[in-house]
């Protein structure tokens, strides 16, 4: 059954993305049943939040516009083919020097853009939290970078963000060494 033609996550189960044809149990609520939270968008923000709320005992539904993919069966490793993951409704870029965006700004799938974000998500550098006062542009954030560091660690674990074991900036900063072996 094609992911694009009919919903897969129904009848109390959702596709197991790690096993071909596999399923995992999914809590389901009827349309007239009240829930604690309804989250629009199941990507890096919405999906992670839905998970955390559910783990704390709340009833949660997450809404998304795209298919529930089975990566092991639905994907070929080909850029043009995988453009089916992109949400390509038109966004207008304007201004004096309009940015050229990519097609992969967001994803139209259960999982949002995490279906194609390549597990890359960089932490802010400490000075960027004080952009206006230290660097002279933008705005200062109302919180200190140290306050953010453990949140970064938590969300990187939740999203399985890839990167160096020791971050090259911020707390315990260590320059990245790239080993060359022959």
Partner 1 sequence: MKPIDMNERYPGYNVLNKRNSPSWNDQTREVIDARLAIDADFHRFCDEAEWQTLCAVCNQIIPQPDHRCPKVPIAAMVDQKLYSGKGDGYRDARLPAQSEAWRKGLAAINAEAALEGGKPFCELAQEQQRVVLLKVQKGEVASPAWEGLSPQLFFAKRLLHDVVTAYFAHPASWSEIGFGGPASPRGYVRMNFDRRDPWEASEARPGREEEARRENEHVG
Residue closer to partner 1 by CB (options 117, 124) is 117
Does 86 bind partner 1 (CB under 8 A)? Our answer is yes
Q: Is 177 in the site for partner 1 (CB under 8 A)?
A: no
Nearest approach, Cβ of residue 105 and partner 1 (Å): 6
CA distances from 101 to 28, 90, 106, 150, 163 (A): 37, 11, 11, 31, 24
What torsion, rounded to 10 degrees, do the Cα atoms 41, 44, 45, 50 define? 70
Out of 2, 6, 30, 100, which residue is the one contacting partner 1 (CB under 8 A)? 100
Round to whole Å and give the CA distance between 157 and 17.
Answer: 18
In contact, 8 and 15? CB cutoff 8 Å: yes
Q: How far is the CB of 160 from partner 1 (least distance, A)?
A: 17
Is position 102 an interface residue for partner 1 (rule: CB under 8 A)? yes
* 8 Å CB contact between 106 and 117: no
Residue 159 burial by CB count (10 A; 0-12/13-18/19+): exposed, middle or buried? middle
State how far the Cα of 130 lies from the Cα of 138, in Å rounded to an integer: 9
Q: Which residues 48-77 are close enough to bind partner 1 by CB under 8 A? A: 73-77
Stretch that binds partner 1, among 34-42, 50-58, 95-103, 158-166 (CB under 8 A): 95-103
Does 90 sit near partner 1 (CB under 8 A)?
yes
How many residues does this entry show for the chain?
182
Does 98 bind partner 1 (CB under 8 A)? Our answer is: yes
# residues near partner 1 by CB under 8 A:
30
> Least distance to partner 1 from the beta carbon of 20, Å?
11
Binding site for partner 1 (CB under 8 A): 73-81, 83, 86-94, 98, 100-106, 180-182
């Amino acid at each position: 059954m094609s992911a694009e033609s009919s919903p897969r996550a129904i009848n109390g189960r959702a596709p197991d993305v790690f096993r071909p044809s596999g399923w995992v149990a999914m809590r389901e609520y009827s349309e007239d049943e009240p829930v604690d939270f309804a989250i629009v968008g199941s990507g890096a923000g919405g999906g992670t939040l839905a998970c955390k709320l559910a783990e704390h005992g709340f009833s949660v539904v997450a809404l998304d516009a795209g298919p529930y993919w089975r990566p092991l069966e639905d994907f070929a490793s080909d850029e043009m083919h995988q453009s089916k993951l992109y949400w390509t409704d038109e966004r207008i870029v304007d201004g004096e020097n309009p940015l050229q965006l990519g097609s992969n700004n967001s994803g139209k799938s259960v999982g949002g853009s995490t279906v194609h974000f390549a597990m890359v998500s960089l932490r802010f550098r400490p000075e960027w939290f004080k952009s206006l006062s230290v660097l002279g542009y933008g705005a200062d954030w109302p919180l200190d970078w140290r306050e953010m560091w453990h949140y970064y660690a938590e969300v990187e674990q939740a999203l399985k963000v890839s990167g160096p074991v020791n971050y090259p900036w911020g707390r315990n900063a260590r320059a990245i060494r790239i080993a060359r072996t022959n």
